[in-house]
Chains A and B, each alone.
Chain A
Amino acid sequence: MAPSLLYNPAKLPPSAALQLAQQAPIVLQQSLSGTETVDQWATYENLLLSCLRTGDDEAAAKCMDRLEERFGADNERVMALRGLLSEAQAENNGELEAVLKQYDAILEGNNTNIPITKRRIALLRSMGRVSDAASALVQFLDFSPTDAEAWSELSDLYFSQGLYSQAIYALEEVLLLSPNAWNIHARLGELQYMAATTSGNGGGSQQKYLAEALKRFARSIELCDDYLRGYYGLKLVTTRLLKEQAKQAKTDEGEFTLPEPRTIQRLDELATAKLSEIVRHSSLKDRGWRGYDEREVAAARELLSQNGIER
């Protein structure tokens, strides 16, 4: 199905972004007069983002002008988009510094401008000044602790630095704010699984992370039937737990509690069954099974075939 301009294009693959950006002449041809709809401005914003991504600066500038004309140059969201435009067009570090200065100047005047604050943090991170970005983000979260998106960004920032426990903490905050977000549960499980794989064979902490990851994946499945990502993670964790139990005797001291081996075994079977069901149906393109991301299905297929060989 063709991507729609009504949704934010941040997650789309390049081909879809190109498709969107190619709609620019058509959308920009329509004159501004007439009745304005709610979707219209979302369309302009998303078109702007897609055009920037594909390097069509001219169309992006046109979108920007229209948005500015409608909402005024001092609208916070428009300011952030304007900043994004100059970020994208900056040729070298000096120009980026200039944009950063501009942001600082805006925040000097009004430090409650949330979109610009977020842009500033993103720019810092993009320029490689990660620790500055992190401290700015922490400061921002002190000021507005209910911003789930910012907590999620912080988690990603820490994760990119390899600071797993901080990243996990930040993601837990996200879950406090939106407890039913099944993709965040799965993401947290993934983080914990990665923390377990990198934390070496330190015994305790590794087992604890795995047990936590197991719970998170299980919860993401509980919140969302047939969640490919959740089952994929569950399969990874149970495989690993089973392998480790075979290797070493039970060492369940400490505060964490692993489920019974039998339960893990059954979870493993469930995940395998579900994954193969999903892979089978979506490679056959059955009706009602076409929503999965092809890349995710391919990864699941690979995981299954790996396990088939191992057994």
Chain B
Amino acid sequence: MTWISKTITVFGGLLLAHACYSAQEHAALQSFKAAATSTLTSSTPAASSLPVDIAIETIVATLITVLGLVLGTRPLRPIQWRVWAGKIEREGEEGFLGNNGEVEKDYMGNPFSYLESRPSFVDIRKQRKEFSQWVKNGGSQGKN
């Protein structure tokens, strides 16, 4: 996902840079012409408006770049508590993938799960016993 948006943005940026260069060249040419013709006619027709092709290129480049930027924006998160919590429960980590397909850095699952697992009160001896029991029993069931 992320490479699509990046490619689009970079392409749009290149197009925009090209348009910018063309416009600059055009303006330089205009002023050169004006300087050349000013000896004949005193009234300079000023920098005449941009050629249509450059204008179109600029607008298209802008649209493409904006599209790339929008696609690159991180997925939004629900702000209603129940919708947000429901998303955590129903979709798990999958609901919080960033654009690059990895779980977003600040995703932490249910922020209250520590109240049930209580890491500071962990009974390590019991866990060890359970684990060795699990290994003895073949250690494959409950694998997910």
Q: Given A52-B124, A174-B115, A291-B94, answer yes or no on A225-B86 (Cβ-Cβ < 8 Å).
A: yes
Report the Cα distance A289→B86, complex, angstroms. Answer: 10
Tell me if B41 is interfacial: C-beta within 8 Å of chain A: no
A291 to B86, CA, bound (A): 10
Contact B117 A87 (CB under 8 A): no
| Contact, CB under 8 Å: B119 / A8 | yes
Using CB atoms and an 8 Å cutoff, list the residues of chain B in contact with chain A. Answer: 81-83, 85-95, 103, 108-110, 112-128, 130-132, 134-135, 139-140, 142-144
Do residues B117 and A291 form an inter-chain contact, with CB atoms below 8 A? Answer: no
Q: How far is the CB of B81 from chain A (nearest CB, A)?
A: 6
Task: Give CA–CA (A182, B109) in the complex, Å.
Answer: 13
Q: How far is the CA of A163 from the CA of B87 in the complex (A)?
A: 35
| A226 is an interface residue with CB less than 8 A from chain B | yes
Residues of A within 8 A of B89 (CB): 224-228, 291-292
* Inter-subunit contact A291/B92 (CB<8 Å): yes
Residues of chain B within 8 A (CB-CB) of A183 are 110, 112-113, 115-116
Contacts A52-B128, A153-B121; is A227 near B85 (CB within 8 Å)? yes
Residue contact B120 to A181, C-beta cutoff 8 Å = no
User: Which of A125, A148, A152, A184 has the most chain B CB within a 10 Å cutoff?
Assistant: A152
> Within 8 Å CB of B94, what residues of A?
1, 288, 290-291
| Interface residues in A254-311 (C-beta closer than 8 Å to B) | 278, 288-292, 294-295
Name the B residues within 8 Å of A65 (CB-CB).
Answer: none
Q: Does A49 contact B (CB under 8 A)?
A: yes
Distance, CA A7 to CA B109, complexed state (A): 9
Question: Contact between A8 and B114 (Cβ–Cβ < 8 Å)?
Answer: yes
A78 within 8 A of B: no
B residues less than 8 Å from A52 (CB atoms): 124, 127-128
Instruction: Check if B85 sits within 8 Å of A148, measured CB to CB.
Output: no
Interface 1/0 per residue, A114-128 and B, CB below 8 Å: 010011011001100
**Could you say which residues of chain B place their CB within 8 Å of the CB of A17?**
131
Which residues between 122 and 159 of chain A lie within 8 Å of chain B, taking CB atoms?
Answer: 122, 125-126, 148-150, 152-153, 156
State the CA gap A125–B124 with chains docked (Å).
11
In the complex, the answer to whether A156 meets B86 with C-beta atoms within 8 Å is no
**Contact call B142/A15, Cβ cutoff below 8 A:** yes
Residue ID in chain A nearest B116 by CB atoms = A183
Question: What residue in chain A is nearest B92 (Cβ atoms)?
Answer: A291
> In the bound complex, do residue B128 and residue A182 qualify as a contact, i.e. CB atoms below 8 Å apart?
no
Is B112 in contact with A178, judged by CB distance below 8 angstroms? yes
A271 to chain B minimum Cβ distance, whole angstroms, is 15
Q: Are A125 and B85 in contact (CB under 8 A)?
A: no
Nearest A residue (CB) for B141: A15
Residue of B89, B121, B125 with highest tally of chain A CB at under 10 A: B121
A87 proximity list for chain B (CB < 8 A): 124-125
Pair A223/B116 contact, Cβ less than 8 Å: no
Q: Which of A1, A13, A14, A184 contacts B112 (CB 8 A)?
A: A184
Residue of B108, B114, B120, B134 near A80 (CB, 8 A) is B120
**Interface contact B85-A182, CB-CB below 8 Å:** yes
- Is A180 in contact with chain B by the CB < 8 A criterion? yes
Which residues in A have their C-beta under 8 angstroms from that of B85?
182, 223-225, 227
Q: CB-CB < 8 A to A16: which residues of B? A: 144
| Residue interface mask A50-77, B partner, CB < 8 A = 1 | 0011110000000000000000000000
Q: How far is the CA of A7 from the CA of B105 in the complex (A)?
A: 11
For residue A252, CB closer than 8 A to chain B, the reply is: no
Chain B residues in 8 Å Cβ range of A290: 91-92, 94
Instruction: Give the docked Cα–Cα distance between A224 and B111 (Å).
Output: 13
A223-B81, A290-B94, A291-B90 provided; 16 other pairs, C-beta below 8 A?
A: A4-B103, A14-B142, A18-B139, A55-B128, A122-B123, A150-B121, A178-B112, A180-B81, A180-B112, A182-B112, A225-B83, A225-B89, A226-B89, A227-B86, A290-B92, A291-B93
Chain A residues near B108 (CB, 8 Å)?
A: 7
Q: What are 14 residue pairs bridging A and B, where the CB atoms are less than 8 Å apart in the complex? A: A1-B92, A1-B93, A10-B117, A10-B118, A14-B139, A17-B131, A53-B131, A152-B115, A180-B81, A183-B115, A187-B116, A222-B82, A288-B95, A291-B94
Residue of A14, A115, A156, A187 contacting most chain B CB atoms (<10 Å):
A14
